Homo-oligomer: A and B are copies of this chain.
Amino acid sequence: MPLKVALAQFNASVGDIAGNTGAMRSVMKRARALGAHVLVFPEMSICGYPPEDLLLKKHFLDDNRQAVEQLALDTGPETVIVGFAEPDGDISFNSLAVLQNGAVQRIYRKGRLPNYGVFDEQRYFRPGTEPLVMDIKGTTVALTICEDIWQLDWLGRFFKDTPPKDLLINISASPFHAGKLAERRQLFSRCARHFDCALAYCNFAGGQDELVYDGRSMFLDSTGKVVCQAKAFAEDLLIAEIVPTDGATSVKPAIATSAAEQMQPAEEIYHALVLGTRDYVRKNGFEKVLIGLSGGIDSALTAAVAADALGSENVVGVTMPSMFNTKETISDAEELAKNLAIGFHTIPIAGVLGKFDTVLSQVDGWDSAGVAYENLQARIRGSILMSLSNQFGYMVLTTGNKSETAVGYATLYGDTAGGFAVIKDVLKTMVYRLCRYVNEANSREVIPESTIQRPPSAELREDQKDTDSLPDYDLLDEILKGYIEQDKSAQQLADEGLDAAIVSRIIQMVDRNEYKRRQSPPGVKITPKAFGKDRRMPITNRYKE
């Protein structure tokens, strides 16, 4: 008999055990009504992922276990699989529970604990040592948690005595980065073929601090083919029938789904930014956001993302011109606000700047035309935005991209001041592509063409251009990608043909500005290595590349 399996790709909130289990109960009702025999929730569905040091609290772990036991009471003959943090005396496991007929029937403990990139699982958990392969209505099902199937050699040894004959289920909390979907598909396909069984993978859809779970849960048949795939960046309930036959296991999608379409990089990154921003703002209890609009491309993209994430009515743009801003940038800021139908304020800063300059001039050596004076303008803007934030309860979104963030081309407590840094992991060259994408997707000029065309400038002094102190962004981004994402040395980058002097100067800037990044707000991870938990560099660091 075919086994009807439903994957509950939902949006959990870290720590919100009551809210998560409430949402899970609703999905359980729906899946039952749809006749699912097995309902699968993602890794740590009870408490959200990653709970980080909440896992060091004994009462938090106890609450996890209790919530699973409570949820079990609501199950009937169908099998429900949930992920949770399992306390066991003084230690804990990253576990899944198999619920049925009002009780917890079986528990599987994750065998491989990732401790790289953004993951710290060996800080919290002991690895499990027992595989769990069970019969569900005549189908042999093996249960795994996330990392378990990313180490296929290990998994082969783990399942040596009890191979996953028909179906391998994997519950995950798999964060997005551009290109991750292709990695997953390749790996899952290899895994299905290796064990000659179907594979069901269930992921979250939602944002948690810097991470975005992109959904795209999927079923593969035993030939390694992706048969159907759930929505990207949204909740979904994906159902398929597993049909074990001699020699192969086929998968029949219950509803016709748009199976396997791949998004273009700009499209999927844009969606990740939207979901990550929406969830950070909403899950932290904010309705509206404020954005400083400079008339430049970074703040334009940030505002477009915010309007899509929260609705135009919840976004307020503020332009804060000084004497160094051109008419063009001021009018571009205004046009953008009009195009996006967001709120808009103009607050000139020259008066405040003048007063600051007066009091600072009391100190011998103050220079009313130097870098400190330039940074002061950014700090005045930061203070104005934060004052409005405090007054009205709106969150400030910052607008710095990854290229600037890397080399420290930003004023701490100025343009870095805010709650969430939407594009902090987006290199400048990708910012351009995303702006083009926004205009194409909307079939109109949302982001003014003049904003896209104008050479980038911080406009903190007369005739300033980014290229005064930085190389062209094409070159800069190539260096940054090699140095940050691939951990290449200056020597390696030079050997690849990049200008050695520029490489060396850029690497020094990246290293020296770690202290700024450490004080900057979180933002959406979209690359394989984002600043933050993903890349843990010492501030005090005298290593010479």
Q: Contact residues of A with B, CB < 8 Å?
A: 13-19, 47, 50-54, 56-60, 115-116, 120, 122-123, 207-209, 279-280, 283-284, 345, 347-349, 351-352, 354-356, 358-360, 362-363, 365-367, 370-373, 375-376, 379-380, 382-384, 386-392, 412-413, 417, 419, 487, 489, 491-492, 515, 518-522, 535-545
Cross-chain pairs A/B with CB under 8 angstroms, 27 sampled:
A15-B538, A19-B542, A47-B543, A51-B543, A52-B537, A53-B535, A57-B487, A57-B489, A58-B489, A115-B115, A120-B120, A280-B540, A284-B515, A347-B359, A363-B391, A365-B391, A366-B387, A370-B390, A372-B388, A375-B387, A379-B379, A379-B386, A383-B413, A413-B413, A419-B515, A515-B521, A519-B521
- CB–CB B390/A372 < 8 A: yes
Decide yes or no: A538 and B413 within 8 Å by CB, A352-B355, A352-B356, A376-B383 being known contacts.
no
Q: Which 7 A-B pairs have the closest CB atoms?
A: A15-B543, A372-B390, A16-B542, A372-B391, A413-B413, A59-B489, A379-B383
Question: Across the interface, do B359 and A372 meet the contact criterion of CB distance under 8 Å?
Answer: no
* A230 and B371 alpha carbons, distance in the complex (Å): 46
What distance in Å separates the Cβ of A538 from its nearest Cβ neighbour in chain B?
5
The answer to whether A58 touches B14, judged by C-beta atoms less than 8 angstroms apart, is no
Question: What residues of B have a CB within 8 angstroms of the CB of A283 in the complex?
Answer: 540, 542
**Which B residues lie within 8 Å of A375 (CB)?**
386-387, 390
| Interface hub of A279, A347, A352, A492 (most chain B Cβ within 10 A) | A352
CB contacts (< 8 Å) of A120 on chain B: these are 115, 120, 123, 536
Among residues of B, the one whose C-beta sits closest to the C-beta of A13 is B542
Are B123 and A545 in contact (CB-based, < 8 A)?
no
Q: Tell me the nearest residue of chain B to A353, going by C-beta.
A: B355
Q: Are A54 and B541 in contact (CB under 8 A)?
A: yes
Q: Is the beta-carbon distance between B208 and A540 smaller than 8 angstroms?
A: yes
Q: Is the CB of B352 within 8 A of A540?
A: no
**For A413, what are the chain B residues with a Cβ–Cβ distance below 8 Å?**
379, 382-383, 386, 413, 417
Question: Of B50, B360, B387, B537, which one neighbours A53 at CB under 8 angstroms?
Answer: B537
Bound-state CA distance A116–B370 (Å) is: 45
Chain copies in the assembled complex: 2
Residues from chain B with a CB closer than 8 A to the CB of A209 are 538-540
* Given known A59-B545, A122-B115, A391-B367, contact A50–B359 (CB-CB < 8 A): no
Residues of B within 8 A of A13 (CB): 540, 542
Contact of A541 among B15, B59, B354, B390 (CB under 8 A): B15
- Expressed in whole angstroms, the minimum distance between the Cβ of A328 and any Cβ of chain B is 23
Give every chain B residue within 8 A of A347 (Cβ-Cβ). Answer: 359-360, 362-363
A54 touches B123 (CB 8 A): no
Across the interface, which residues of B come within 8 angstroms of A122, CB to CB? 115, 122
- Nearest residue, chain B, Cβ from A318: B363
Q: Which residues on B sit within 8 Å (CB–CB) of A115?
A: 115, 120, 122-123
Given contacts A376-B383, A519-B520, A535-B53, whether A541 and B362 have CB atoms under 8 Å apart is no
Given contacts A57-B489, A115-B122, A372-B389, 20 further A-B contacts (CB under 8 A): A14-B542, A15-B543, A16-B542, A47-B543, A51-B538, A54-B543, A56-B487, A208-B540, A345-B362, A348-B359, A351-B358, A356-B384, A363-B391, A366-B387, A370-B390, A379-B383, A383-B413, A419-B515, A519-B519, A519-B520
Q: Report the separation of the CA atoms of residues A360 and B388 in the bound assembly, to the nearest whole angstrom.
A: 8
Quick check: B386 and A365 within 8 Å, CB to CB?
no
State the CA gap A543–B19 with chains docked (Å): 10
Establish whether residues B376 and A387, one from each chain, have CB atoms under 8 Å apart when the complex forms.
Answer: yes
- Cα distance A2–B225 when bound, in Å? 72
Picked from B367, B391, B519, B543, the residue with its CB within 8 Å of the CB of A366 is B391
Measured between C-beta atoms, what is the minimum distance from A281 to chain B in Å? 10
The residue in chain B whose Cβ has the minimal distance to the Cβ of A279 is B540
User: From residue A394, how far is it (CB to closest CB) to chain B in Å?
Assistant: 11
Determine which residue in A58, A359, A367 has the highest number of CB atoms from chain B within 10 A of its CB, and name it: A359
Q: Which residue of B lies closest to A380 (CB)?
A: B383
Q: Which chain B residues border A360 with CB–CB below 8 Å? A: 347, 384, 387-388, 391
Q: Which residues of B contact A19 (CB under 8 A)?
A: 542
Residues in chain B near residue A53, CB distance under 8 A:
535-537
Complex interface: chain B residues within 8 A of A356 (CB):
352, 383-384, 387
Q: How far is the CA of A381 from the CA of B59 in the complex (A)?
A: 42
